[in-house]
Amino acid sequence: MNRLLVVDDEVQMQRLISICLSEQNYHIDHASSGEEALRFLSEKHYDLMLLDVMMPAMSGYTVLEKIEQQYSSLPVILLTALGETEHIVKGLDLGADDYVTKPFEPSELRARVQAVLRRMEKQKHEQVNELFGVLLNEQQKTFTANGQVLPLTRKEYQILHRLFCNPGQVFTRDQLLELEWDGFADRYDRNIDTHIKNIREKVKSAGVEKKLIETVWGIGYKFAHPEQNT
């Protein structure tokens, strides 16, 4: 059973949302303020939050910023009477997964909640590995850091994939050259050092300060091992 947290300072709106979602058999908790919502999050796990934007003391935008800092994996649907594009864009930029404009049709609310939950469930089943804040998604063939997909070329992805999946193991330049790109071994490409340099720059641009790919002088490269001090 999915657990939802509805955050709205109007009790009547809390009840309306619960009625709209009653057929889906969700477990729903209610919070009447941003502060109360953050307390709930510190005590329980939730699969989705429905968050009102216009609340006294702590606005939904502020709550969203705090969620991104502490509970970044929690999906959030904003509930807003502010239908102007700039308000919607602001919420999405702060990390909201979707939004519903008040007043809303019950069928729209149900559909958006179900869509976000389906998307999150799909992501759970995708093979994802993480080291030092960098995530490898094998299914999508992407690396992500701080929510940003690294814009790697095909060759850069293959090199980083080999290193990432074997942390601490040293690979010579010749071993990295033997990786097959586009179905053939590109042995004429001697620019491994350039590819490594580009990968490092892209990882750093995504906000990862740690030097993940280490140079082993005279031999080649290795990916930092999580259990070794380097």
* Nearest residue to 132 (alpha-carbon basis) of 212, 221, 216: 212
Contact at 8 Å (CB) between 109 and 100? yes
pLDDT surpassing 90 at residue 121: no
Residue 207 is predicted with a pLDDT of 92
Residue 12 is predicted with a pLDDT of 96
Residue 180 is predicted with a pLDDT of 47
Fold of 2-125: Rossmann fold (3.40.50)
Q: What is the pLDDT of residues 124-151, one digit of tens each?
A: 655 568 889 899 988 778 999 988 899 9
Q: Across residues 146-165, what is the average pLDDT?
A: 90
Contact at 8 Å (CB) between 30 and 51? no
The answer to whether 2-125 and 132-223 have equal CATH topology is no
Task: For residues 75 and 119, give the distance between their C-alpha atoms in angstroms, rounded to a whole number.
Answer: 10
Task: Pick one of 3.40.50.740, 1.10.150.120, 1.10.10.10, 3.40.50.1000 as the CATH number of 132-223.
Answer: 1.10.10.10
Residues present in the chain in total: 230
pLDDT surpassing 50 at residue 183: no
Cα–Cα distances (Å) from 89 to 23, 73, 97, 104, 150, in that order, read: 31, 20, 11, 19, 23
Cα–Cα distances (Å) from 130 to 71, 139, 144, 145, 164, in that order, read: 17, 14, 9, 9, 9
Cα–Cα distances (Å) from 175 to 24, 55, 57, 196, in that order, read: 53, 58, 59, 14
Contact at 8 Å (CB) between 74 and 92? no
**Considering the chain, what percentage of its residues have pLDDT values greater than 70?**
90
**Considering the chain, what percentage of its residues have pLDDT values greater than 90?**
51
Q: Across residues 181-208, what is the average pLDDT?
A: 76
Tokens of 89: 């864009």
Domain ranges in the chain are 2-125, 132-223
pLDDT surpassing 80 at residue 228: no
Query: Where is average pLDDT lowest: 33-47, 94-108, 214-228?
Result: 214-228
Model confidence band, residue 222 (pLDDT cutoffs 50, 70, 90):
very high
Tokens of 141: 């063939």
Q: What is the mean pLDDT of the chain?
A: 87
Residue 191 is predicted with a pLDDT of 79
